[in-house]
Amino acid sequence: MMDEDGVSARRDLTSYVGRAEDEARVRRLLGEARLVTLTGPGGVGKTRLAGRVASSVTRAFPGGVVVAGLAGLHDPTLLTRTLADCLGLHDTAARTARDTLVAHLRDRRALVLLDNCEHLAAGCAELAGDLLRACPDLVVLATSRCSLGVAGERIVPIAPLAVPPESTRTVEDAITYDAVRLFADRAAEVLPSFRLTGDDVAAVVRLCRQLEGLPLAVELAAARLRVLSPGQIADRMGDSLALLTTGARSSPERHRSLRATIAGSHALCTDVERAAWERCSVFAGAFDLSAAEDVCAVPGLAGFAVLDAVDGLVDKSVLLRVDGATGVRYRMLEALREFGQERLAATGTADVVARRHRDHHARLLEQADAGWFGPRREDWFARLSERHADVRAALAWSLRDPAEAVVALRMASGVLEYWLARGAAGEIREWLDRALAVAGESAPGRAAAQARAALCAALHADLDGARHRLKLAEAGCDDDAVPAIRHARAFVALLAVEPHALENAVEAVRIFGARGAVRRQLHPMFIAAVATAFRGDLAGARRLLAEMVRLCDAAGDEWYRSMALFGLGTVEIFFGGDVGTGERALRDALRIDLRGPDVLSAAYRVDGLAWASAKRADWPAAARSFGTAATLWDRCGAEPDIAVSLAHRELLAATRSALGEARFEEAFAEGRRRNPHDLLATPASAAREEPAADAVLPPLTRRESEIARLVATGLSNREIAVRLVIAQRTAETHLQHILNKLDFANRTQVAVWVNERLVTRR
């Protein structure tokens, strides 16, 4: 579980020089101490060393190695949530993010790397201390410019690379020093024809000594070989250090050396490149070219000029190229970003650039909201995930001023499904609450935002908090907010088993539908179906879920289709319908979930398969499925406390009672070790119960055979569509294919043909 833009990405870009002794020392300490902190100035290589060590000790930590890169995080309240994100953990009811972390890590032999802690030192110290006290087998590795000050901390100062003495004159002697080897290695990457020779050795030795072996400074200096010789670089560096020495004498010498190196790189850039460097320093994480174009858009710096500037900054090692899931992106090392931000502040344009940065991400969220429902949902999830640190930064900047908070309110109210898929319902609820607290009472979208905050509170089973927010929403209600309020009201009523869940859900579906907001209809439609089943109307619930599936099929959306199939499984299994139909629906939903990263949804589906086995009184299979579900709940730090708690509690208790404690625990433990993909096979119990249910009737396909058997039972095309959770038109098409293959004219002939074959098989 390596951080996407952190140590692993950086490590893979270039070869690694030196640090063998440091690596061995840190690995040894990780076996002796529970908190090890690598300290040293910026640019000394702490992050890279920590990443090397973390990737080499995975066998020693069977509970996992997780890297939390904190350089782009500047809100200490999000520190715990950030680590939970890295672990794939979800917000849950009645648990803080800290509780969720502790529950996940308590029994694991795991390593947590907190990278770049210095600007969040107090919060990191508190978090590390809490986790280490609660999790006896946990080990924390941190990187910081200062120690964390936690009891038991082992501090490892990371020194610069070794530099040769001034008297060194031969290549053979110089190359034995790590600083020189690093320079030569990076120089060859920049200029493939470069070879360290006797002519250059004195200048390279002088340069490495001037830079005191600071790795980042050496790498940046080597990047200048495109335009300068080693001697020219050393001369310029000497001038820069002389100027700096007359100034801030209180700064550590090697800090001045690094700043001089960075300033030298800045001076070698063109005016356009310098402007792009300064403006791109606003990004908290990696960014793509379109984002750079938006924040850099000023006269003389637009279109191809931005591309040229980015290309030049990559060429000078100011920007690092990152190949992400959605294409090429760029990131800036923290020391270079800090320098760029200082320069940006000096120009007086920092707020202008921050606003451009915010506006870019506001547009990104609007585009994601518009394109979320359909086949590109996974693409949008990947894009937003890659930009999550910058979305947070944009929201935080917008909350500094009531006028800007209106935009934050719009951003936080948009693609709610993204935050839910991340397991961050609590975080988006906090952003909504913060934006509501800052924005004016007359801010547009305020009532709808309150309703969405209420929905998030309900997802956390905080029904009192949801009701309070709904009262606030209704007090300032406008036409735009009405369906959102109805939606949240319906969900609260369903969870609380109160009246009017159905009426509110149906009204939300109607209004969203009238406005053409198909995606917004779907969760209220799910609520309406479950509420309808609660009232004993299984046929009505099936019709609603079949319509939900039809809408998803028309849009090519699988996430909501999985929700509809889960609804059908719940209705059929728990509310007295056909267990086989419900089980097939849940297995189809699980098949969708296991194709992506949605562990939480998969946990719900597997739990539902346990209900099916329990309803059949196949108690060992039920216990095994409950065990498999429990492993998935643990993986995402969640529990079945929303929407399925009643079915889960009742059927789990029935399974435990039927088997007895010892047999239950044995089967449950067996299920915990099982891969959820194994559940996608047709269960033996179903085959025993319905011997011909999956049999192919040649010359028909498997699906055509299934539909032909349902025709033989007397079901209409609409009823077949509901039973199989397909569109009615799809059922009609299959039936026409059956008639064509068999050369029949009507359904009666199909029914007779099927029954003849089933009798023969028996």
565 touches 588 (CB < 8 A)? yes
Rounded mean pLDDT, 38-61:
91
- The pLDDT assigned to 106 comes to 92
Q: What angle do CA 714, 719, 724 make, to 5 degrees?
A: 110
pLDDT, one tens digit per residue, over 244-269 is: 444 343 444 555 678 888 888 888 89
178 touches 158 (CB < 8 A)? no
pLDDT, one tens digit per residue, over 671-681 is: 999 988 888 87
637 phi-psi bin (left φ>0, alpha ψ -120 to 50, beta other):
left
The whole-angstrom separation of Cα 404 and Cα 408 is 7
- The pLDDT assigned to 172 comes to 94
pTM of the model: 0.81
Which domains are present in the chain?
7-157 (3.40.50.300), 171-266 (no CATH), 269-348 (1.10.10.10), 579-689 (no CATH), 702-761 (1.10.10.10)
pLDDT, one tens digit per residue, over 533-560 is: 999 999 999 999 999 999 999 999 999 9
Q: Helix 20-30 vs helix 46-56: angle between axes, to the nearest 10 degrees?
A: 60
Tell me: pLDDT of 302 over 80: no
Longest Cα–Cα distance in the chain:
102
Q: What angle do CA 289, 290, 294 make, to 5 degrees?
A: 115
Phi, psi (rounded to 5 degrees) for 331: -140, 155
Q: In what order do the strands lie in the sheet with 111-115?
A: 65-69, 111-115, 139-144, 35-39, 154-157
The whole-angstrom separation of Cα 538 and Cα 581 is 13
394 touches 361 (CB < 8 A)? yes
Averaged pLDDT of the chain: 87
Rounded mean pLDDT, 336-354:
93
Rounded mean pLDDT, 179-208:
92
Tokens of 129: 């201390």
The whole-angstrom separation of Cα 345 and Cα 198 is 44
pLDDT band at 179 (very low <50, low <70, confident <90, very high): very high
65 touches 54 (CB < 8 A)? yes
Closest C-alpha among 387, 361, 452, 514 to residue 72: 387
The whole-angstrom separation of Cα 293 and Cα 418 is 25
| 685 vs 702 pLDDT, higher one | 702
Tokens of 601: 């949804």
335 to 75, 93, 124, 283: CA distances (angstroms): 19, 40, 20, 13
Question: Tokens 């000023």 — which residue?
Answer: 298
Closest C-alpha among 381, 434, 372 to residue 409: 434
Rounded mean pLDDT, 706-721:
82
Pairing relation of β-strands 139-144 and 35-39? Answer: parallel
Task: Tell me what percent of the residues of the chain surpass a pLDDT of 70.
Answer: 91
Tell me: pLDDT of 241 over 60: no
The whole-angstrom separation of Cα 352 and Cα 405 is 16
